[in-house]
Amino acid sequence: MVTPEEALPGRDTPLPVVTDNVVLHHRQVPPFPEGLEVAVVAMGCFWGPERVFWNTPGVWSTSVGYTGGHTRNPTYEEVCSGLTGHTEAVQVVYDPKVVTYKDLLKTFWEGHDPTQGMRQGNDLGTQYRSGLYYLNDTQKAEAEESLKAYQQSLTKAGYGQITTEIAAAGPWYYAEDYHQQYLHKVPNGYCGMGGTGVSCPIGLGVSEG
């Protein structure tokens, strides 16, 4: 992982991005309607995960971007160089009265293999690492609890240790417009998502031992 001192400096001006999600026809940039909440997740290449979440009932809008690194307003090419520290991520705007953060965590864990470190399938690099970036203490607690629960299920299934980064959400940098809702714009585009096939026991509690 690149250090803050080694990271590219970036720029002060954000990358241009259109206001609305072209699939859900709601805003993908703030402000969002009162009562909605935001989750930030990273599951490898962000094209496939965004499609999973825009198809999730209760999700109001989605966008893809970069988080967890050091470079200000990075470009896709800079992130892919490994010199920004960012990972490709999805910002999910959702209605907690319809879908809870725990529900989204279940989708997160089951949608990729969180034991692969700095990769996801054939995609290799720090920008493809798994991550949960919490925006409040409740999200932090639920993310940590879900990791413990899913680790038990993965261990029983013969998988190794989860390498998912759980950290406070830092600055969110929107990816270039052509990445937003990419698999809607390019239906046959690349999607490297692949889960473990292990069900996540969200809501069932964590057994001892």
Domains, the chain, with CATH or none: 37-185 (3.30.1060.10)
> Is residue 23 within 8 Å of residue 56, measured between CB atoms?
no
The pLDDT tens digits for 97-155 are: 999 999 999 999 999 999 999 999 889 999 999 999 999 999 999 999 999 999 999 99
Q: Is 45 a residue of the active site?
A: yes
pLDDT of residue 33: 98
Q: Using only the alpha carbons of the chain, give its radius of gyration.
A: 16
pTM, two decimals, is 0.95
| CA dist., res. 85 & res. 68, Å (int) | 7
Of 45, 80, 191, 200, which one is the catalytic site residue?
A: 45
pLDDT of residue 74: 98
Digitized pLDDT (tens) for each residue of the chain, 209 residues in all:
999 999 999 999 999 999 999 999 999 999 999 999 999 999 999 999 999 999 999 999 999 999 999 999 999 999 999 999 999 999 999 999 999 999 999 999 999 999 999 999 889 999 999 999 999 999 999 999 999 999 999 999 999 999 999 999 999 999 999 999 999 999 999 888 889 999 998 754 433 33
Give first-to-last CA distance, the chain, whole Å. Answer: 33
DSSP string, 43-79: ESSSHHHHHHHHTSTTEEEEEEEEESSSSBS--HHHH
Residue appearing with tokens 């293999």: 113
| CA dist., res. 77 & res. 28, Å (int) | 22
pLDDT of residue 202: 73
pLDDT of residue 207: 38
